[in-house]
C-alpha cells in the first residue's frame, strides 16, 4: 500500500478505511494465538487467563484497528449475489476471487474509482480483516461493497470481531489445526494481558502499603486515645479525691448530721475511702441502683453519682 498515489489514498480515506493505510507489518505467532484461543470459554464467550476473565469488545477492536464501528452490527456477510461484480473481479483462469488477482490489480493500476475501492476492500478482507485458510475471498462480501458510498457507513469493526470469535469457536469445537480470522487481535490482547498482570501486581503492592499505613495510623490514633483517656482518668481521680476531702471536712464541721456518700461510675467494684462508700457501675446498672435522690448525666456513658441520705446523729462520720 506504500505505492498508492495520493489520489488512491484519498479515495480510501473517503471510504472510511484510512486506518488500513497505516498498517505495519507484523509477524503472526500462530502457536501463541492458538494457545490464546484454547483459553476461550465457549459458554461465556470470554478468555480466561490465570483466573482473569477478559472479553473482547467492539470498542477495543475499534481502538486497535481504527475501523468504523457505527451502524448496525454485522454478524456475517449478507447473502447477496451480485453476478456482475463476481464476473468482473474473479480470476480469469478460474472461478474464485484470488488474493493474487486482487493484489496484482492494486499494484498495477493507478485508477482510484469504484473498481479500485472494491479491489482494495476485497483484498484487505481476505488478507487482513477476515482471512481464511484459503487463497481467495468469498463472493458473499460483494453485498457489502456493491454501494461504494455506503462503505463508510458500515460497522466494519463488528464484522472483524464476529468473524474472529466464530473462527475461534469453530477451532475449538472441531479441534481444527489452524485459526482463521484476524489473529493479530489475539496477539495484541496478549500484550494487554501482560500489562494488566503488571498493573494487578502493582495494585497488590499498593494495597499492602495502604494496609501498613492504615495500621500504623490506627495504632497512632489508638495511642492518642489511650493517652487522652489516661489524662482524663487522672483528672477524674483528682476530682474524686478533692470531693472526698471536701465532704470529710464538711462532716467534721457539722457532726450533728449523718451522711452516706456513694460514688458510682463504671467498674462495678466497691471501695472504701475515708469511710465514704465508693461504688462503680455501668449506666445500665445505675438505672437499677439509683433511687429518689439519684443524679445522672445522660450525655455521658458513665457518670459520677452522689447520694446523700440525711439523718440526725451525734457521730462525726460513719
**Closest to 96 measured CA to CA, from 143, 136, 145:** 136
- What order of strands is seen across the sheet that includes strand 276-280? 262-265, 276-280, 270-273
262 CB neighbour count, 10 Å cutoff: 19
What is the SS3 string spanning 62-94?
HHHHCCCCCCCCCCCCCCCCCHHHHHHHCCCCC
More confident residue, 58 or 211: 58
Pairing of strands 276-280, 262-265: parallel
What the block records as the C-alpha cell of 120 is: 482494495
* Residue 246 within a domain: yes
Assign 6 a pLDDT band (cuts: 50, 70, 90). Answer: very high
Residue 241 has pLDDT above 60, yes or no: no
Rounded mean pLDDT of 73-77? 91
Q: Give the count of alpha carbons within 13 A of 24, CB side only.
A: 2
More confident residue, 305 or 230: 230
| Residue 253: predicted pLDDT | 37
Q: Are residues 161 and 208 in the same domain?
A: no
Q: Are residues 176 and 52 in the same domain?
A: yes
Assign 192 a pLDDT band (cuts: 50, 70, 90). Answer: low
Give residue 208's Cα distance to chain centre.
18
| Residue 95: predicted pLDDT | 84
* Residue 15 within a domain: yes
* Residue 228 within a domain: yes
Residue 199 has pLDDT above 60, yes or no: no
Q: Are residues 33 and 156 in the same domain?
A: yes
Percent of the chain with pLDDT over 90: 36
More confident residue, 230 or 5: 5
Q: What is the pTM of this model?
A: 0.61
What the block records as the C-alpha cell of 306 is: 452522689
Q: Are residues 39 and 105 in the same domain?
A: yes
Number of domains forming the structure of the chain: 2
* Residue 117 within a domain: yes
Cα end-to-end span (Å), the chain? 112
Domain ranges, residue 69: 6-182
| Residue 82: predicted pLDDT | 86
* Residue 195 within a domain: no
Q: Which residues pair with 273 in a beta bridge?
A: 276
> Per mean pLDDT, which range of 170-179, 181-190, 193-202, 286-295 is the poorest?
286-295
Main-chain phi, psi angles of 155, to 5 degrees = -85, 80
* Residue 125 within a domain: yes
Q: Are residues 149 and 18 in the same domain?
A: yes
Q: Are residues 161 and 55 in the same domain?
A: yes
| Residue 149: predicted pLDDT | 94
Q: Output b/e per residue, 33-44; b: 16+ Cβ within 10 A.
A: bbebbebbeeee
* Residue 191 within a domain: no
> Per mean pLDDT, which range of 43-52, 156-165, 186-195 is the poorest?
186-195
Q: Are residues 210 and 142 in the same domain?
A: no
Q: Are residues 137 and 265 in the same domain?
A: no
Binning the chain into helix, strand and coil, the percentages to the nearest 5 are 55, 10, 35
In the DSSP assignment, the letter for residue 130 is S
* Residue 190 within a domain: no
Residue 2 CA to residue 296 CA, distance in Å, equals 92
Q: Are residues 64 and 141 in the same domain?
A: yes
Q: Are residues 156 and 300 in the same domain?
A: no
Average pLDDT taken over every residue of the chain: 73
Give residue 100's Cα distance to chain centre.
46
Q: Are residues 306 and 270 in the same domain?
A: yes
Q: Are residues 172 and 208 in the same domain?
A: no
Residue 181 CA to residue 297 CA, distance in Å, equals 79
Give me the sign of the Cα torsion angle 7, 8, 13, 15.
positive
Of 44-48, 154-158, 275-279, the range with the highest mean pLDDT is 154-158
Residue 257 has pLDDT above 50, yes or no: no
Residue 18 has pLDDT above 80, yes or no: yes
Residue 153 CA to residue 70 CA, distance in Å, equals 7
Residue 75 CA to residue 159 CA, distance in Å, equals 6
What the block records as the C-alpha cell of 51 is: 483466573
Rounded mean pLDDT of 152-174? 96
Amino acid at each position: 500500500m506504500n505505492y498508492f498515489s495520493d489520489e488512491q489514498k484519498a479515495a480510501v480515506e473517503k471510504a472510511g478505511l484510512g486506518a488500513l493505510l497505516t498498517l505495519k507489518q507484523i509477524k503472526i505467532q500462530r502457536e501463541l494465538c492458538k494457545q490464546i484461543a484454547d483459553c476461550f470459554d465457549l459458554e461465556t464467550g470470554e478468555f480466561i487467563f490465570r483466573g482473569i476473565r477478559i472479553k473482547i469488545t467492539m470498542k477495543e477492536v475499534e481502538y486497535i484497528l481504527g475501523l468504523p464501528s457505527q451502524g448496525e452490527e454485522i454478524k456475517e456477510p449478507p447473502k447477496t449475489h451480485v453476478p456482475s461484480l463476481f464476473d468482473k473481479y474473479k480470476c480469469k483462469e478460474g472461478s474464485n476471487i484470488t488474493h493474487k488477482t486482487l493484489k496484482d490489480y492494486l499494484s498495477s493500476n493507478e485508477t482510484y474509482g469504484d473498481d479500485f475501492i472494491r479491489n482494495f476492500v476485497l483484498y484487505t478482507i481476505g488478507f487482513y480483516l477476515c482471512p481464511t485458510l484459503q487463497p481467495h475471498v468469498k463472493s458473499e462480501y460483494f453485498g457489502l461493497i456493491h454501494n461504494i458510498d455506503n462503505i463508510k457507513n458500515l460497522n466494519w469493526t463488528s464484522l472483524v470481531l464476529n468473524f474472529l470469535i466464530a473462527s475461534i469457536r469453530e477451532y475449538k469445537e472441531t479441534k481444527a489445526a489452524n485459526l482463521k480470522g484476524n489473529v493479530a487481535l489475539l496477539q495484541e490482547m496478549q500484550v494487554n494481558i501482560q500489562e494488566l498482570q503488571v498493573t494487578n501486581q502493582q495494585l497488590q503492592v499498593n494495597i499492602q502499603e495502604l494496609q501498613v499505613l492504615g495500621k500504623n495510623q490506627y495504632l497512632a490514633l489508638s495511642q492518642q486515645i489511650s493517652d487522652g483517656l489516661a489524662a482524663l482518668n487522672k483528672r477524674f481521680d483528682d476530682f474524686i479525691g478533692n470531693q472526698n476531702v471536701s465532704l470529710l471536712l464538711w462532716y467534721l464541721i457539722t457532726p450533728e448530721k449523718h451522711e452516706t456518700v456513694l460514688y458510682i461510675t463504671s467498674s462495678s467494684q466497691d471501695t472504701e475511702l475515708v469511710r465514704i462508700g465508693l461504688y462503680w457501675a455501668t449506666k445500665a446498672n445505675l438505672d437499677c441502683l439509683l433511687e429518689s435522690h439519684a443524679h445522672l448525666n445522660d450525655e455521658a456513658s458513665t457518670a459520677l453519682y452522689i447520694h446523700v441520705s440525711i439523718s440526725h446523729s451525734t457521730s462525726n462520720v460513719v
